[in-house]
Amino acid sequence: MENERKIIRLEKTESTNSVALELGEQGAVAGTVVVAQTQTSGRGRLKRHWLSPPGMGLYFSIILQPDLAPEHLPKVTLAAGLALCKAVEAEYSLAPEIKWPNDLLLDGRKFGGILTETGFLQGMAKGRKPFVVIGAGVNLFTPGGGFQNDLKECATSIADHTDRTISAEPLLMAGVSAIEQEVQRLEKGDFQEILEEWMERDGVKDKVLTWVTPQGKKVTGVSLGPDADGVLRIRDGAGVMHEVLSGDVNLVGKGPE
Ligand code: BTN
């Protein structure tokens, strides 16, 4: 029930994910949310910085303890990306797309992302169940003067795509409940359905991508979308299939190449 949910509201913090991880280690109940007006060290995937100026975005993290075997935990990230996408669709009648694994795009530019991290309750015995922290960042507004430097060509905000009034609170509530719903579907074993809905929103399917393998080799190929386990497949010019298990993919002409 929404009015019983514990929501920790902070004016300023380093990272809501860091706060949520600490709370999870201390035994915070699943469903606890941490939201901040600004983050001084907001972080994204691959150790990237997440720009979090006050009043310009929604920055929150939710602690969950999904009933899933550890090997299924990476699927939580895809499920959460779909959830946030659905929340934006419902709140603003927009049609965002997703770039694997969970960048949210409007007109090909990123306005939202998810960082999933795992922690363990402090002092528990081996074999203990992990908890996950799902952190979501959404650019609600574009900073005065526009996004700068490496964000200039690739970032956007919801405000750039709608005339509706935008406020963080309704999107927070919609996002939190959508994330919980998608994770519950995952627990019920509905990943294939989640994946189908995810693929309806796949913003890079059939497009040419580049990816740098863990060995440092650059692969250029066509995105075939995720397989049944959510692993992205790319087919290169020689017809060789590559499974993207980590790192990032970039559309040719739209990122570091
Ligand atoms: C990404 O696209 O790389 C993921 C970005 C996730 C940013 C959010 S903002 C709230 C939460 N706290 C963090 O430090 N990161 C996530």
* Per-residue pLDDT reduced to its tens digit, 96-149: 999 999 999 999 999 999 999 999 888 765 667 789 999 999 999 999 989 999
Asked if residue 130 is part of any domain, the answer here is yes
Burial class of residue 8 in the structure, from the number of CB atoms within 10 Å of its CB (0-12 exposed, 13-18 middle, 19+ buried): middle
CA 104–ligand 1 middle distance (angstroms): 12
Does residue 239 carry a pLDDT above 80? yes
- 257 confidence band (pLDDT: 50, 70, 90): very low
Q: Based on the fold, state whether residues 122 and 221 are members of the same structural domain.
A: no
Same domain, 19 and 133: yes
Instruction: Give the domain extent around 88.
Output: 2-200
pLDDT band at residue 254 under the 50/70/90 scheme:
low
Residues 12 and 42 in one domain: yes
Mark whether 29 and 108 lie in a shared domain: yes
Ligand 1 atom index nearest CA of 48 = 3
Long-range contacts of 19-22 (CB under 8 A, 24+ apart): 19/61, 20/61, 20/62, 20/63, 20/133, 20/135, 21/117, 21/119, 21/133
CATH number of the domain at 134, please. Answer: 3.30.930.10
Work out which ligand 1 atom sits closest to the CA atom of 14. Answer: 14
Q: How many CA atoms does the CB half-sphere of 30 hold within 13 Å?
A: 15
C-alpha 236 – ligand 1 centre gap (Å): 31
Distance CA 55, CA 53 (A): 6
49 in the same domain as 32:
yes
State how far the Cα of 158 lies from the Cα of 165, in Å rounded to an integer. 10
Residue 244, pLDDT score: 94
Cα 240 to ligand 1 centroid, rounded to whole Å: 33
What is the chain's mean pLDDT, rounded?
A: 93
**Cα distances (Å, whole numbers) of residue 85 to 19, 90, 94, 170, 202:** 24, 9, 9, 14, 11
Question: At residue 40, does pLDDT exceed 90?
Answer: yes
Would you say residue 256 has pLDDT above 60?
Answer: no
List, chain by chain if needed, residues with CB within 6 Å of any ligand 1 atom.
15-17, 39, 42-45, 48, 50, 59-61, 103, 113-115, 135-137
pLDDT at position 85 is: 98
d(CA 67, ligand 1 centre) in Å = 23
Given a cut of 90, is residue 77 above it in pLDDT? yes
- 181 and 217 co-located in one domain: no
Q: Could you give the angle at the alpha carbon of 89 between the alpha carbons of 73 and 110, nearest 5°?
A: 70
- 143: DSSP letter: P
Domain boundary among 200, 219, 240: 200
How many domains does the chain fold into?
A: 2
Please check whether residues 151 and 238 belong to one and the same domain.
no
**DSSP per residue over 39-60, as a string?**
ESS-B-GGG-B----TTTEEEE
Instruction: Give percent of the chain above pLDDT 70.
Output: 95
Q: Residue 227's domain is classified under what CATH number?
A: 2.30.30.100
What pLDDT is stored for residue 122 in this prediction? 81
Does residue 257 fall inside a structural domain? no
Per-residue pLDDT for 51 more than 80? Answer: yes
